[in-house]
């Protein structure tokens, strides 16, 4: 019977004289590859699934990272207020570049006083219908199995 060469993941070639030993060689290769640790990718904690909320839902998610869309009402140094179907106080980080009268999406952590500590902000263009945003938020919370 003709011998064949098998190249495994370790970069070596092995002679495989018959089917039975070839199958055992393949099983060994699979075990070796399964034992390798999966590389972990580091990323910010807020990446992934963050709940979309408005002012009325802030109290349901204390000390959690959320997304909130609103119109910037006022800015005072490192603090501001947005209208997210009600006023929400936000604590800005050094990278926040919000402007009064413009819409933003804030990814941040809800504080004990129901203010939001900003992790990142996304400036939104145009005029946003906040009633539609509220409807989307209600849908996502009423049908969590589809969204979270």
Q: What is the pLDDT of residues 82-131, one digit of tens each?
A: 999 999 999 999 888 899 999 999 999 999 999 999 999 999 998 999 99
For the stretch 25-81, pLDDT in tens is: 666 655 554 555 544 544 455 445 788 999 999 999 999 999 999 999 999 999 999
Q: Is the pLDDT of residue 134 over 60?
A: yes
CATH class of 51-147: mainly beta
Strand, coil or helix: 12: coil
What HEC string does 75-139 produce? EECCEEEEECCCEEEEECCCCCCCCCCCEEEEEEEECCCCCEEEEEEEEECCCCCHHHHHHHHHH
Q: Domain ranges for the chain, please list them.
A: 4-35, 51-147
pTM, two decimal places: 0.65
């Amino acid at each position: 019977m003709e011998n064949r060469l098998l190249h495994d993941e370790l970069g070596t070639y092995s002679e495989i004289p018959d089917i039975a030993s070839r199958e055992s060689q393949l099983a060994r290769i699979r075990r070796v590859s399964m034992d390798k640790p999966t590389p972990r990718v580091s990323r910010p904690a807020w990446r992934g699934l963050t709940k979309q909320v408005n002012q009325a839902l802030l109290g349901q998610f204390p000390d959690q990272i959320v997304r909130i869309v609103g119109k910037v009402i006022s800015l005072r140094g490192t603090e501001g207020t947005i209208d997210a179907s009600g006023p929400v106080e936000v604590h800005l980080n050094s990278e926040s570049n919000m402007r009064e009268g413009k819409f933003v999406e804030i990814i941040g952590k809800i504080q004990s006083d129901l203010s939001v500590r900003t992790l990142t902000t996304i400036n939104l263009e145009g005029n946003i219908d906040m009633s539609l945003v509220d409807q989307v938020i209600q849908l996502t919370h009423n049908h969590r199995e589809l969204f979270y």
